[in-house]
Amino acid sequence: MPTRKKAPSKGSSSKATSAIKRGPLPPYGIAIREATARGDSQQMKKISAYSRKYLKDVQSALDRLEKALSSRQR
């Protein structure tokens, strides 16, 4: 799963501050286009698998939301 690390701030003496990481990077066009442009097959496979799982999870959540909405409208 692609992730981005927060760049350490200049002048920071705290190791904890420089080790802060952000969560998973959601699949979006830029990440997909950059991986494709680099031609890195392994990275493209990782992004593809993560993107498909992400989309499946989002679709599942959307289905649950729509079901909850329809049951409240009755």
Q: Return the number of other C-beta atoms located less than 10 Å from residue 47's C-beta.
A: 21
In 3D space, the residue among 26, 21, 29 whose CA is nearest the CA of residue 50 turns out to be 26
Tell me the whole-structure pTM to 2 decimals: 0.55
Beta strands at 21-24 and 3-5: parallel, antiparallel or unpaired: antiparallel
Phi-psi sector, 23: left (phi>0), alpha (psi -120 to 50), beta: beta
Q: Which spans in 8-74 are helix H?
A: 15-18, 29-38, 41-72
Residue-wise pLDDT tens digits, 25-67: 566 788 888 889 999 899 899 889 988 998 899 999 999 999 9
